[in-house]
């Protein structure tokens, strides 16, 4: 079974600072997704990464994928309070539709 | 508007009762999924369906049942055999066999069983 690990699990950071969330997975995959979840809400899609070396950016968030290292990163630049949420990575199993989710990183941005 | 709807938003039941959660999508997606989320946890797959009248068990299917009689609908029944049913249930859908396989999520149903 494909296993997905995220770290850190909890992240408290000051506004204006930069930080990176890491997502490691255990077996070969051809796609990786990042989602955001606000408290009590559903999941909102942030990024879809489909190839080695893929990099996508939206506002203060940038995601990248290294399929050889089985690693994706979500980089936060100059954090603002609105980014406070839980961020999940999800990895697709090659040849199947299933997604395997990490346990999430709860980000709190402190003014 | 295209999207996924789940109802109800909140559901309260007594232990020993079966309960059915609704999930409808108008995205013309072939595949649909049910996940369970417990507080502070990630999502765990209960069941998924890639085509009408066919579905497969996920990691935690025991105590749950599903049906897929229409492409748009994928209801989940939480049976009395589910030992700890209180959780947040999320339905999702995606393309299958083409595209990015990106899963789109509904707003969720929060089930409380006492």
Give residues with Cβ within 8 angstroms of B96, minimum separation 6: A97, B29, B30, B31, B50, B51
Q: Per-residue confidence of chain A (111 residues) as pLDDT tens digits? A: 789 999 999 999 999 999 999 999 998 888 999 999 999 899 999 999 998 889 999 999 999 999 999 999 999 999 999 999 999 999 988 777 788 999 999 999 998
Predicted local distance difference test score (pLDDT) of residue B2 = 67
| Contact at CB, A97 and B100, closer than 8 angstroms | no
Task: Provide φ and ψ at A2, rounded to 5°.
Answer: -75, 130
B16: number of Cβ within 10 Å: 8
Residue B97: pLDDT band (50, 70, 90) is confident
Lowest mean pLDDT segment, chosen from A96-100, B56-60, B82-86, B101-105:
A96-100
B58-67 exposure pattern, b = at least 16 Cβ within 10 A, e = fewer: beebeebbbb
HSE (side-chain half, CA atoms, 13 Å) at A66: 10
Task: Choose among B7, B12, B61, B9: nearest CA to B34.
Answer: B61
Whether the CB-CB separation of B82 and B63 falls below 8 Å is answered with yes
Whether the CB-CB separation of A9 and A89 falls below 8 Å is answered with no
Residues of chain B in Cβ contact (below 8 Å) with chain A: 31, 33, 35, 40-45, 48, 50, 58-59, 90, 94, 96, 100-108, 110
Task: Give the closest-approach CA distance of A74 to chain B in angstroms.
Answer: 17
Whether the CB-CB separation of B102 and B1 falls below 8 Å is answered with no
Residue B1: pLDDT band (50, 70, 90) is low
Chain A residue numbers with beta carbons less than 8 Å from the beta carbon of B104 are: 45
CA distance B88 to B97: 29
């Amino acid at each position: 079974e494909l296993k997905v690990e995220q770290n850190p699990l909890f992240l408290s950071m000051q506004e204006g600072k930069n930080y990176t969330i890491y997502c490691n997975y255990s077996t070969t995959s051809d796609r990786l997704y990042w989602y955001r979840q606000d408290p009590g809400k559903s999941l909102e899609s942030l990024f879809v990464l489909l190839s080695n070396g893929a990099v996508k950016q939206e506002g203060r968030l940038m995601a990248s994928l290294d399929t050889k290292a089985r690693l994706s990163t979500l980089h936060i630049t100059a954090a603002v309070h609105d980014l406070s949420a839980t961020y999940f990575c999800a990895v697709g199993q090659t040849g199947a539709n299933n997604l395997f989710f990490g346990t999430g990183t709860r980000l709190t941005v402190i003014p | 508007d295209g999207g996924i709807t789940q109802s109800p938003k909140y559901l309260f039941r007594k232990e020993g009762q079966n309960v059915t959660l609704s999930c409808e999508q108008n995205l013309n997606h072939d595949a649909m999924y049910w996940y369970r989320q417990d507080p502070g946890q990630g999502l765990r797959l209960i069941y998924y369906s890639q085509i009408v009248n066919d579905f497969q068990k996920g990691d935690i299917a025991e105590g749950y049942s599903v049906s897929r009689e229409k492409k748009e609908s994928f209801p989940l029944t939480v049976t009395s055999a589910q030992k700890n049913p209180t959780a947040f249930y999320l339905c999702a859908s995606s393309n299958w066999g083409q595209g990015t396989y990106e899963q789109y999520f509904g707003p969720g149903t929060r089930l409380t069983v006492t």
